Amino acid sequence: MSMAPIRLSEEQLAAYHREGYAVVEDLIPPEKVQALGERLREYTHGGRPADRLRIQVEPRVQRGEAQVEEWGDGIRKVDGLVEGDELFNALGRDENIVGIIAQILGPDLKLFRNSLLLKPPQVGSQKGMHQDSPYWPIQPMALCSCWFPLDDATPQNGCMGVLPSGHLRGPLPHVRVPDDFVVEEGHYSFDEMLLVPMKAGSGLFFHSLLPHYTAPNNSAQWRRAIALSYMSSFCRHAGDGEAPEYYHIQGRTFPGCVR
Ligand SMILES: O=C(O)CCC(=O)C(=O)O
């Protein structure tokens, strides 16, 4: 039995453009969430070679300021699974995710990044308030990420917090602080932040200029999430050095635009 594709309603699409984000419940079915979590654990806790992945360990664990039982329990971020793993590859091309992204960005799409963002119990650190585009060498600054948790994301274990409509302020000044790169103080207030608790498998689609934040995980529960960030093939690479070849998802590519 084929299921009807999941898409944003007209109201949800209008809300995305107005607020900078949209939540889609039950985007990824539970059995797929479970399979992704199991596959992830094979990379982080043994069973599959992780040497081709880009792995970031929690800075406090790295510095010996926090202890974990196993190496995999201190991992903060894993990049590059869509390119090398067939399960994650299929996820990057998921009909529902890509269909919704195409509603937002149009049909010609490339993948900018794919990351597993892990907040292990007790040691998962905060991600300070930031916009993604100031980190990224892509113009115009209008990418869209699909972020979804593999565990229920709660205020206690580090669910997303967003500044609704903050993408309309354009790029805000960012400053380096220890272990992070965040919106400069005075350009927002935490009072404006809306927490977005989500069930595992629900998806948050958000604009690359939407300021967002996640708290440290002081709970006993994992908070694992996957972020897939897409761009229109009309975007340009605006960084230093040679432009990388970005993963092609669907549609046309254009001369002078991202390869
Ligand atoms: O998952 C997190 O804790 C932070 C995610 C984030 O900042 C992002 O996906 O841009």
In this prediction the pTM is 0.97
The predicted pLDDT at position 239 comes to 86
Is residue 52 predicted with pLDDT exceeding 90? no
What are the backbone angles phi and psi of residue 209, rounded to the nearest 5°? -105, 5
Does residue 173 contact residue 184 with C-beta atoms inside 8 Å?
A: yes
Model pLDDT for residues 176-229, shown as the tens digit of each residue? 999 999 999 999 999 999 999 999 999 999 999 999 999 999 999 999 999 999
Is residue 1 predicted with pLDDT exceeding 60? no
Residue by residue, DSSP assigns 101-150 as HHHHH-S-EEEEEEEEEEE-TTTPPPEEEE-SGGGS-EESS--EEEEEES
Is residue 12 predicted with pLDDT exceeding 80? yes
Does residue 153 contact residue 207 with C-beta atoms inside 8 Å?
A: no
Residues with CB under 6 A from ligand 1: 117, 127, 132, 145, 147, 158, 212, 214, 225, 227
Rg of the Cα atoms in the chain:
18
CA of 225 to the centre of ligand 1 (A): 8
Looking at the CA of residue 227, tell me the nearest atom of ligand 1.
9
Domains of the chain, by residue range, sit at 10-250
Which of 113, 160, 219, 224 best tests ligand 1's pocket when mutated (most atoms within 8 Å of CB)?
A: 160
Model pLDDT for residues 129-141, shown as the tens digit of each residue? 999 999 999 999 9
Burial of 127 (0-12, 13-18, 19+ CB in 10 A): buried
The predicted pLDDT at position 2 comes to 66
Neighbours of 69 (CB within 10 A): 7
Neighbours of 4 (CB within 10 A): 6
Looking at the CA of residue 229, tell me the nearest atom of ligand 1.
9
CA of 257 to the centre of ligand 1 (A): 26
Q: The domain 10-250: what is its CATH number?
A: 2.60.120.620
Q: Percentage of the chain surpassing pLDDT 70?
A: 99
Model pLDDT for residues 229-258, shown as the tens digit of each residue? 999 999 999 988 888 999 999 999 999 999
Model pLDDT for residues 97-118, shown as the tens digit of each residue? 999 999 999 999 999 999 999 9
Is residue 3 predicted with pLDDT exceeding 90? no
Which residue(s) pair with 57 in the sheet? 75
Encoded amino acid at 122, one letter = Q
Q: Percentage of the chain surpassing pLDDT 90?
A: 94
